[in-house]
Amino acid sequence: MWRLASLISLTMLCSTGCSSLGFSLWPSQFPLLSQTKEFASKSPLPSGLPHELAKQVLPDYFVEPGDRLLIEPVELDSDFRTIGDQKVQVDGSIDLGEFGRLRVAGLTVEAIEAAIERQLAEESGQRETINVQLVETNAAEVYVLGEVGSPGAYALDGNETVLDAIVMAGGLTSKASPCDMILVRPTAPAACRVVLRVCYRQITQLGDVTTNYQVQPGDRIVVGSRTLREELAFWRQTRDCECCNRSRCVECNPARLGFPSRFVGWLSPFPKSGGENSQAMEGSAESLDESPPDSEPRESIPPHQPEAGEDADIFLPAEAAPMPNVAPVIRAPQARLPSSRAR
């Protein structure tokens, strides 16, 4: 009897898991396929794709059934009257009233304007200038799936990134695995698959925009669930994902942060002494140390000669005055910038 009770208890434990820890011994709800993980692990982190700091304008949009178009004549005294805001029907056509119907699916907005003007000229013999605006679209969407607050399809304006899409979906759940996050782009049946790894912790905690890609219509963002192994190895939660530990952070002067590039041309962005990393960065920032091309030459001012009884260190030239070293941002985030009275 006790064996049967033990078997029942073990079955219940496996099905429910430990409620205090909040996980189950059953397989995760949104696991990534082994083939998907293989594609994501073997593909390098692409550097030429549009991301948060290098966005691109999306290509021309082709109207599809379900989109809403606003059709108006440019001239206010025009005799052309139609339903201003109308939906593209399932057959891809719109209603032009007494001028018939026009198939617009698969055309751009400019092509639709030209097609309407041509049909009006054929039906009425008058030349009208028509303005067409895309009011609403159902095709420009990104799909956010898996361990997010509100999985679903979300409309795009054209400049959203992976982080924007995750925020629109309610963020990650408590069961999400930050190391199992991918961006998948639709491809043809016989084409190569596009599976991009998303390094969520690097995006949110380090500001690394390498994998914060600019999303395109039809993209799928999938957030996998944590496995039982990840739940038990809770001490590894603060470690970087193996696939995301490819980029290397460099030391930089925090005084440069926040300045537009056109204003840092004549600043000295890195300290003159700071070791091997500082020398490497000085070589890459030689162009930033040059004076602006439109700056006027300044008159050289002779250094002040201290009189008797004055401290000579106060009147050192600017290039000879001792400057406090600026602590690196990565290794010593608690360090503060020296104030203006620290001389």
Q: Which of 153, 120, 302 is nearest to 220 (CA)?
A: 153
Using an 8 Å Cβ cutoff, are 335 and 327 in contact? yes
pLDDT higher than threshold 90 for residue 335: no
Mean pLDDT (whole number) for 255-271 = 39
pLDDT value, residue 30: 78
Yes or no: is domain 68-136 CATH 2.30.29.30? no
Q: In percent, how much of the chain has pLDDT > 70?
A: 57
115 band by pLDDT with thresholds 50, 70 and 90: very high
Using the predicted structure, report yes or no on whether residue 301 has a pLDDT greater than 60: no
Flag whether the pTM goes above 0.85: no
Q: Which residue has the higher pLDDT, 68 or 263?
A: 68
CA 271-276-278 angle, to 5 degrees, is 25
What pLDDT sits at residue 215? 93
pLDDT 10s digits, 81-102: 777 788 999 999 998 888 888 9
Q: Which pLDDT does position 147 carry in this prediction?
A: 92
Task: Give the span between the Cα atoms of 193 and 40, in whole angstroms.
Answer: 10
116 contacts 102 by C-beta, under 8 angstroms: yes
CATH number of 26-57+140-236, picked from 3.30.70.1380, 3.40.50.2000, 3.40.250.10, 3.10.560.10: 3.10.560.10
| 217-250 residue pLDDT tens | 999 999 988 877 666 665 566 666 766 765 444 4
Is the model more confident about 251 or about 200? 200
Instruction: Kindly tell me if the per-residue pLDDT of 216 is higher than 60.
Output: yes
pLDDT of residue 47: 66
Asked which of 123-127, 207-211, 269-273 is least confident by mean pLDDT, the reply is 269-273
Confidence label for 322 from pLDDT (cuts 50, 70 and 90) = very low
pLDDT score recorded for residue 82: 75
**pLDDT for position 285:** 42
Residues in the chain, overall count: 343
Give me 237's structure tokens.
């939660």
Give residue-wise pLDDT tens across range 192-206: 888 888 989 889 998
Phi-psi region of 130 (alpha: psi -120 to 50; beta: other; left: phi over 0): beta
H-helix or E-strand containing 205?
A: helix 200-205
* φ, ψ of residue 262 in degrees (nearest 5): -75, -10
Residue 183 has pLDDT above 50, yes or no: yes
**Per-domain boundaries in the chain:** 26-57+140-236, 68-136, 254-289
pLDDT in tens, 282-295: 444 444 444 445 54
Q: Which of 15-19, 52-56, 113-117, 122-126 has the highest mean pLDDT?
A: 113-117
Say whether pLDDT at 319 is over 70.
no
Q: What per-residue confidence (pLDDT) applies to 6?
A: 62
Banded pLDDT at 48 (limits 50, 70, 90): confident
